[in-house]
Each structure stands twice: as C-alpha cells, then as structure tokens.
Amino acid sequence: MKLLAGYPEALTEKPFHYCPGCLHGIVHRLLAEVMDELEIREDTIGIAPVGCSVLAYQYFNIDMHEASHGRAPAVATGVKRVHPDKVVFTYQGDGDLASIGTAEIVHAANRGEKITTIFINNAIYGMTGGQMAPTTLPEQKTTTSPYGRDLDLAGHPIKMSEMLSVLDGSIFIARVSVHDPKHIREAKKMIKKAFLLQLAGKGFTLVEVLSTCPTNWGISPLAAIDWLKENMLPVYPLGVLKGGEID
C-alpha cells in the first residue's frame, strides 16, 4: 500500500521552535517529503547553518552536521568529498549564505560541488533580532537600518541566485516561494528536481525559497504573506534561473 499523506519519516518527532507563522517549518516539511519520496533518508547528510534554523539538526531524521555561520557549503564539501555516493544538502538563511558565507557558496557552486543548497531568503536576520541582511529591500526598516535601507549607505538587495547561475559549476538554480499552496507545490517540485540532479551526479544545485519573518518584520503572519507578495516578488522574481534538465 502506498502512503499518500502522513508524517514524513525524514522528520523527527521534535516540535519546531519557529515563531507562529514562520515559513521555515514548511520548507523543512517539503525537504523531508522529498527525501522520503526519493527514498534517500538513510543516504543523506544535511548541513545546518547558523540562523533561526540552527536547530535543523534536531528536526531532520537523518545524519546532520551543524556548521559555523556561513560555512555550510565548505562543511558540505568536506562531507561530500569523503562520501561522493551520498546526498548532501545545506540549509541556509540569507545572512548565512549571502553575507558571511558569500565566498563559501560562490566557490562551492563554482567548483560544481555535487550538493544541494536550500537558501531561505526572508530579507532579514531572524535569529539575532531583525538586523539588516544583504537581501533586505530598499527602504525596508530593520533594527540596523532604522530609517529604512539606504542604498547609498548599505548597497543593494543581493541577488544570489542570479549571481550563482552565471557560474559554470552550477547546473540548477531556481527561486521559489512558499506563500500559498500553489507556490508550495512548485517549491517542492524544484527541491525534488535539485535532489534528482544531485543524485545524477551533475553539479551544484540551489533552490532559493522566499520566506517570511513575521516576528522581525513586526507584522502578523498573514500580513507577512502579503508583504512578501507585494515587496519581495518584484525584486526577487520566481522561476528557474538555470538548468533543470534531467537526462
């Protein structure tokens, strides 16, 4: 008999610590479902970041390695080079991946490391209390851009997926969102595609997931969904930026 719905085996029983309305939990669930569907739970090693998802190692029912801030792609490189036949993914926030860990993600992608990165872009530093991230939008108020992000002072929202897709080592880069069921389904498809390409031994794969941080955006979960749609989608257009063919 085939299980059509239920609690994913790739998640532990541990309740998430995420704030109400935070979308990290949805992405965890999608990842777990993909691992179950591909039957790779026992062959996958996940790398947790430093950020709100630092405790991801408590939630995925797989071998996990907790990295230092931004270095998950380097840790993943070490794991994958030792176990090239295993599936290795990193799960990273935008402070982790797009700020302190820029060098590590760029070079992992450029080397064509056969890993998958799940990149959660919520336009802010969640864990440390709502400071500006490199992905923070123009005029967006954060605790370290109290007058709104000033592009002269703080530069522009960084488009990591666009940057990474020009590197020869990356084979699949997609930007998705999880703000409604339709987009959640699409996000899962992209995550699955990335894992399939990794399994095919092709190269570096990344799925950027637009997400919310109601707590530090200072609005309700529902208002946060609207804010994402109105403000983030125009700056971070969804879609496959590179690749995606599975042959």
- Positions touching another protein (CB under 8 A) are 41-45, 47, 54-55, 57, 61-68, 71, 74-83, 86, 103-104, 106-107, 111
> Measured from the CB of residue 202, what is the shortest distance to another protein in angstroms?
19
Indicate the residue whose CB is closest to ligand TPP. Answer: 93
**Rounded-to-integer distance, Cα 163 and Cα 199, Å:** 24
The site partner of 128 among ligand TPP, another protein, ligand SF4, none (C-beta below 5 to 8 Å per kind) is: ligand TPP
Geometric angle at alpha carbon 123, from 235 and 165, rounded to 5°? 55
Q: Which residue of 52, 178, 225, 241 would you call a contact of ligand SF4, by CB under 6 A?
A: 52
Q: Which residue of 70, 192, 216, 228 would you call a contact of ligand SF4, by CB under 6 A?
A: 216
Q: If we measure between CA atoms, which residue out of 164, 161, 157 comes closest to residue 177? A: 161
Q: If we measure between CA atoms, which residue out of 237, 226, 212, 56 comes closest to residue 123? A: 212
Q: If we measure between CA atoms, which residue out of 176, 196, 179 comes closest to residue 187? A: 176
Whether residue 165 contacts residue 173, with contact meaning beta carbons closer than 8 Å, is answered with yes
Q: Contact positions toward ligand TPP, by CB under 6 A?
A: 50-53, 69, 93-96, 120, 122, 124-128, 133, 213
Q: If we measure between CA atoms, which residue out of 68, 73, 132 comes closest to residue 103? A: 73
Q: Which of residues 79 and 176 has its CB atom nearest to ligand SF4 in the complex? A: 176
> Measured from the CB of residue 43, what is the shortest distance to ligand TPP in angstroms?
27
Q: Which residue of 92, 135, 177, 215 would you call a contact of ligand SF4, by CB under 6 A?
A: 215
The site partner of 215 among ligand TPP, another protein, ligand SF4, none (C-beta below 5 to 8 Å per kind) is: ligand SF4
Show contacts with ligand SF4 in window 8-47 (CB under 6 A): 18-19, 22, 24
Q: How far apart are the first and last CA of the chain?
A: 30
The site partner of 79 among another protein, ligand TPP, ligand SF4, none (C-beta below 5 to 8 Å per kind) is: another protein
Q: Which of residues 43 and 162 has its CB atom nearest to another protein in the complex? A: 43
**Rounded-to-integer distance, Cα 240 and Cα 242, Å:** 6
DSSP string covering 111-163: TT-S-EEEEEE-SSBTTTTSB--TTPPTT--BTTBTT---HHHH-----HHHH
Whether residue 192 contacts residue 246, with contact meaning beta carbons closer than 8 Å, is answered with no
Counting contacts by CB under 6 A, is residue 122 touching ligand SF4? yes
Q: Which of residues 79 and 224 has its CB atom nearest to another protein in the complex? A: 79
Residues at the contact surface with ligand SF4, assessed by CB under 6 A? 18-19, 22, 24, 52, 122, 126-127, 213-216
